[in-house]
Chain A
Amino acid sequence: MRSSPPAWSEALLRIFLRPEVFLSFSGDLLEQYRDSVLPARGLRGADRWYLAQVAGIVLRKSLPWAALFAAAYVARMALDWLWPTNHFETRAQVSTAIAAAILLASGFGTSWKSRSFLAGAAAGLATTATATVLSMAGIALVLAIWHDPRTMTAIAGSGGLSEAFFLPVWLMLPGTVIGGIGGLVGAGARRAV
């Protein structure tokens, strides 16, 4: 019977941690997995426990970038709703540049630390996924504060509520790609230093 967590979950952990931290921390997790979690919860339960630990690490690493991303997204939405315009181009260019910069920095920073370019793509995905949840909460908060007829008309004119809530979901794939580009640069720069 298998007595180790799934290899892919360890691989995910590896790309989010510095190599020297991964060795000792994954050893601690493996020790706990085998000594206490596996006997108490069985293989499936132990695998779920291990995955929860990895998810916690991924969330912790991506949360600051995700919070920035979500703040930028909600600010852009609020701007369009409270100060509507017919010319969205400049706003779109600025907000796209900010979002791309956050994802690039997230990918760069994560890959710089872990020295793996894959970490950049994973960081981009984790950042946009976490930001999606935060953005939905932020949009709901904005709506709770401002929901007068004028604002609702402005919302309808700028894409509608469903776009406001679900656009971040569609940004996960580009987020992964942009994070991956940041990761390539980050891992390459780290190796060059």
Chain B
Amino acid sequence: MADVLGTFEQAVLLAITALRDEAYGRAILREIESRLGRDVSPGAIQATLERLENKDLVRSRLGSGTAVRAGRPRRYYRLEGSGVTALNEARATVENLWRGLPWPLKGTT
């Protein structure tokens, strides 16, 4: 079984999946902010990307720089096979937990 993913790790992996070939730091940040509906720290994204890369769930390559970045390269990320497996397992875990329960739940208070 792959590593258990935290919610934020799942958000980063899903953003990379959605962005396909355009998954670099700032694009990932914007994608996550739009999905979560709140501001996210670039440092938190960077730390998570490093952790996911250390776990071999994603791989990165350097691209070219642009003028607005003062020529500094973008680092593009893509999912490894183990990253896809980890995401599928995370989704299956949540669906198993919810099996047989109505959604949204009705509160009693």
Contact = CB atoms under 8 A, between A and B. Distances in A.
Real binding pair: yes
A167 B29 CA distance: 40
Interface in B30-85: 41-44, 46-47, 50, 62, 65-66, 68-70, 72-75
Contacts, number: 57
Given A21-B50, A34-B68, A60-B47, A27 B73 contact: yes
Most chain-A Cβ atoms within 10 A of its Cβ — which of B66, B72, B75?
B72
A35 B27 CA distance: 12
B26 to A, nearest CB: 5
A29 B62 contact: no
B68 A28 contact: no
A27 B65 CA distance: 8
A57 B24 contact: no
Closest 4 CB pairs of A and B: A27-B72, A24-B75, A28-B25, A27-B69
A25 interface: yes
Contact of A56 (B41, B62, B65, B75): B41
B72 A30 contact: yes
A24 B43 contact: no
A171 to B, nearest CB: 26
Given A34-B68, A35-B68, A28 B26 contact: yes
15 contacts: A4-B70, A21-B46, A24-B73, A24-B75, A25-B75, A27-B25, A27-B69, A27-B72, A27-B73, A28-B24, A28-B26, A30-B70, A31-B26, A53-B42, A56-B43
Contacts of B68: 30-31, 34-35
A32 interface: yes
A28 B65 contact: no
Contacts of A4: 70
A23 B26 contact: no
A63 to B, nearest CB: 11
Given A31-B26, A32-B26, A53-B41, A26 B46 contact: no
A87 B50 CA distance: 48
A23 B43 contact: no
Contacts of B43: 53, 56-57, 60
A25 B46 contact: yes
Contact of A23 (B29, B46, B47, B72): B72
Nearest to A22: B72
A24 B25 contact: yes
B43 to A, nearest CB: 4
Contacts of A60: 43, 47
Given A24-B62, A25-B25, A27-B69, A32 B42 contact: yes
